Amino acid sequence: MTPLLAANVWEIMHGGSTHVPIALMLVSAVSDGLGYIVRTDRLRERFHIAGFIMLIAGTLGVLPAVLSGLVLARWEIGGSGALFWHHIFVWPTFGLLVGLSVWRSIVRGRRSRPGLFIYLVFAFLAAVLVSAAGFWGGEILLGSS
């Protein structure tokens, strides 16, 4: 087996590629949330632009995490124990991330306040789900203390 395909390399890639997209997703939701409550138009727009950029970057950044995770799981979606719970939260999160990115790309600056509220509900749901996925990912790696 070549070093490029060694499980160790995939573990390192998966661990290294998950944290930045998670952080971007969380901060994107917070930024858009702040944009929802801020009264100044200029500041509101800046928060929404920052949220959009972080969402797109996080979505693109999650692709190596998903690929390396699938390689580590031997292309099995599901599993048992901590892997099962990790996947229970990962796949809805991944779907939400892609869906939210598509939504934001289509809507751009033509968002309504009710539409933005609905978007925020799903963005914060994705933030909760990715946090749970991260917890179970840590359990896979570190095990129960």
* SS3 (DSSP) at 1: coil
Q: State residue 1's pLDDT score.
A: 45
Q: State residue 83's pLDDT score.
A: 85
Over range 30-49, report the average pLDDT.
Answer: 94
- Determine what percent of the chain is predicted with pLDDT higher than 70: 93
Residue 9: phi, psi to the nearest 5?
A: -65, -45
Which residues neighbour 15 within 8 Å (Cβ) at sequence distance 6 or greater?
A: 141
Domain ranges of the chain: 3-142
Place of tokens 């727009």: 45
Q: Count CB neighbours of 18 within 10 A.
A: 22
Is 15:131 a contact under the CB 8 Å cutoff? no
SS (H, E, C) 34-79: HHHHCCCHHHHHHHHHHHHHHHHHHHHHHHHHHHHHHHHCCCCCCC
Does residue 132 surpass a pLDDT of 50? yes
Q: How many CA atoms lie within 13 A of 109 on its CB side?
A: 7
Over range 11-17, report the average pLDDT.
Answer: 74
What band does 6 get if pLDDT is binned at 50, 70 and 90?
low
Over range 55-74, report the average pLDDT.
Answer: 87
Q: For residue 20, give both structure tokens.
A: 């930045």
Does residue 45 surpass a pLDDT of 90? yes
Q: Which one-letter amino acid corresponds to residue 129?
A: L
Q: For residue 116, give both structure tokens.
A: 């933005």
Measure the CA–CA gap between 118 and 116, rounded to whole angstroms. 5
Over range 9-22, report the average pLDDT.
Answer: 79
Q: Which residue has the higher pLDDT, 139 or 57?
A: 57
Q: What is the pTM of this model?
A: 0.82
